[in-house]
Amino acid sequence: MENCIFCKIVKREIPGKIVYEDNEIIAIEDINPQAKIHILIIPKKHISTILDITEDDSSLIFKIHKIINKLAKDTGCSENGFRVVLNCNKDGGQAVYHIHYHLIGGRKMDWPPG
Ligand code: AMP
Ligand code: ZN
């Protein structure tokens, strides 16, 4: 998708600090981290919002969850805990319209979120 920063990172047109990659998924460090650990898990396929996910994406979405688990363990925040966030549209605070899961850890999270 043209003019999508995450598609551009996938295609290496702009830089990203890649911490995981396979044929379907990339994970990068967030450029503006909100905690010690803040990783974005991004499908290479351009899907604009969670509302655009279809049945065909089932295995992709499962795989994303497996990678989140792996990254949480690898970064050492799985035991204490962490937060996974997927923002949707304006009120959800979505800024980049290519779905991405925030893995945030390394500190105690507040609830309710801001
Ligand atoms: P969201 O508000 O859920 O759409 O989140 C977008 C996230 O992408 C924010 O946490 C940004 O800091 C992050 N971000 C934006 N541009 C980049 C980039 N070039 N590399 C890494 N993270 C980025
Ligand atoms: Zn995209």
Q: How far is the CA of 5 from the centre of ligand 2 (A)?
A: 7
pLDDT score at 49: 98
Q: Which tens digits make up the pLDDT trace of 48-59? A: 999 999 999 999
113 in a structural domain: no
46 in a structural domain: yes
Q: Is 98 a catalytic residue?
A: no
111 in a structural domain: no
Q: pLDDT band at 1, cuts 50/70/90?
A: confident
**Best CA proximity match to 64, nearest among 105, 32, 27, 107:** 27
Q: In terms of residue numbers, what domain contains 21?
A: 5-105
Task: Tell the residue nearest (CA) to atom 20 of ligand 1.
Answer: 31
DSSP helix/strand/coil, 101 = strand
Separation of alpha carbons 1 and 59, rounded Å: 22
50 in a structural domain: yes
And the tokens for 14?
Answer: 């702009």
DSSP helix/strand/coil, 110 = coil
Q: Which tens digits make up the pLDDT trace of 36-47? A: 999 999 999 999
Pocket of ligand 1 (CB under 6 A): 5, 16, 28, 30-32, 40, 87, 93-96
Q: Which tens digits make up the pLDDT trace of 92-111? A: 999 999 999 999 999 999 99
Tokens 């290519």 -> residue: 98
Report how many domains make up the chain: 1
Q: Which tens digits make up the pLDDT trace of 61-88? A: 999 999 999 999 999 999 999 999 999 9
Q: How far is the CA of 48 from the centre of ligand 2 (A)?
A: 7
Q: What is the CATH number of the domain that holds 96?
A: 3.30.428.10
pTM of the model: 0.98
pLDDT score at 100: 98
And the tokens for 1?
Answer: 């998708």
Torsion (CA) 54, 37, 23, 92 in degrees, nearest 10: 20
